[in-house]
Amino acid sequence: MNTQTILAEKTVSASDVRKHPCQYFEAEPVAVLSHNKTAGYMVGAELFEAMVRQLEACNPKVESLFRPTTARLKAISAEAEKLLAEAKKSDLDDFEE
């Protein structure tokens, strides 16, 4: 019998996350399951930021990876603008803000 550790009190299927992703960003971790195995975890912004601060405080050599430069932010924005301009209506049907 295969067992696995799930480090969250709540779980959700990967297909449900695809349908309504923002619904699962919470103040506590939510385990995302794919084929009944933990594929990853989702956490809200406040919890993630607290985790990064704690990790950086415990180990000064650790630095969060996403600290983009102004040039990188402009490149990300330009790519997003291009993707939206080229998107078909069907690509955006499931979009929720």
Q: Enter the pTM of the model.
A: 0.61
Where are the chain's structural domains?
10-90
Note the pLDDT tens digit of each residue in 59-95: 877 777 667 788 888 998 999 999 888 888 887 777 7
Alpha-carbon distance 69 to 73, whole Å?
6
* Edge-to-edge strand ranges of the sheet holding 10-13: 10-13, 30-34, 37-42
Residue 89 is given by DSSP the state H
Alpha-carbon distance 78 to 84, whole Å?
10
> What's the pLDDT score for residue 66?
67
Report the alpha-carbon angle 41-21-97, nearest 5. 145
> What's the pLDDT score for residue 12?
96
> What's the pLDDT score for residue 89?
83
> What's the pLDDT score for residue 65?
67
Note the pLDDT tens digit of each residue in 13-58: 999 999 999 999 999 999 999 999 999 999 999 999 899 889 888 9
> What's the pLDDT score for residue 15?
93
